[in-house]
Amino acid sequence: HKVVWLSRHGESIYNIEKKIGGNSLLSERGELYSEKLPSIIKNECNVSDELIVWTSTLTRTQQTAQHLPYKTKLTWKALDELDAGLCDGMTYEEIESKYPDDFKQRDEDKYGYRYRGGESYRDVVIRLEPVIMELERQQNILIITHQAVLRCIYSYFMNIPQDQSPWVAIPLHTLIRLEVRPYGPCKVTLFKANI
Ligand code: F6P
């Protein structure tokens, strides 16, 4: 069976400050995850194959991949986090007080809501199309990317309806193994790092 490996980047400074978007570095805990990731793959998952690592262009995903011993690491702009436009760098509280109507609209239609000057989940799904096509063709891919992007990729493989995908829980510091089956749903295994 074909296997796809997925992970969010380790905890970032912005995650701690509860700010969205940006291009911050990993926190100390996030760095610890990047240090542990190679042994999680080797010891817990028994992966002996060389993996190909795909990250976004943002620092936090590349930092998360930095200790992985594999030769091929590719960066995709299409794997960058959902662009929050004018709200980039704000907390949800700040967004709610500055743009209350937008905040409400997003809650009512999280899949379709497009940030001012930014993107919606629907936009992300569209820009992910080449990534998904390449994933379908390849073997042994490990994708290290962001919460919203992973929700879209995960929902695609798990057949989760698009309007529900923005609510799917993708935990931090957890490696996800998806065994893709030609008929029926994927088999999911989670490997949680003890950090
Ligand atoms: O908070 C981390 C983060 O990746 C943000 O950068 C991004 O805007 C957000 O999660 C996406 O999650 P949600 O769609 O639930 O706001």
Three-state secondary structure string covering 79-135 = HCCCCCHHHCCCEHHHHHHHCHHHHHHHHHCCCCCCCCCCCCHHHHHHHCHHHHHHH
Residue 182 pLDDT exceeds 90: no
**ipTM exceeds 0.95:** yes
**103 CA → ligand 1 middle, Å:** 13
What is the share, in percent, of the chain residues with pLDDT greater than 90? Answer: 94
Q: How confident is residue 184, by pLDDT bands cut at 50, 70 and 90?
A: confident
Q: Which residues are catalytic?
A: 8-9, 15, 60, 81, 146
Nearest atom in ligand 1 to 18's CA: 1
Residue 116 pLDDT exceeds 90: yes
Mean pLDDT of 50-78: 97
Looking at every residue in the chain, the average pLDDT score rounds to 97
| CB distance 84 to ligand 1 below 6 Å | yes
pLDDT of amino acid 125: 98
pLDDT of amino acid 41: 97
Q: Which residues of 141-174 are buried (b: 16+ CB within 10 A; e: fewer)?
A: bbbbbbbbbbbbbbbbbeebeeeebbeeebebbe
pLDDT of amino acid 45: 92
Mean pLDDT of 149-160: 96
Mean pLDDT of 15-21: 98
Mean pLDDT of 31-45: 96
Q: How confident is residue 185, by pLDDT bands cut at 50, 70 and 90?
A: confident
Q: Nearest 5°: CA angle at 190, between 193 and 26?
A: 40
Packed helices 147-158 and 129-137: angle between N→C axes, nearest 10 degrees: 50
**94 CA → ligand 1 middle, Å:** 14
| CB distance 147 to ligand 1 below 6 Å | yes
CB-CB contact of 34 with 65 (8 Å) = yes
* Parallel/antiparallel/unpaired status of strands 52-55 and 73-75: parallel
Q: How confident is residue 112, by pLDDT bands cut at 50, 70 and 90?
A: very high
pLDDT of amino acid 98: 98
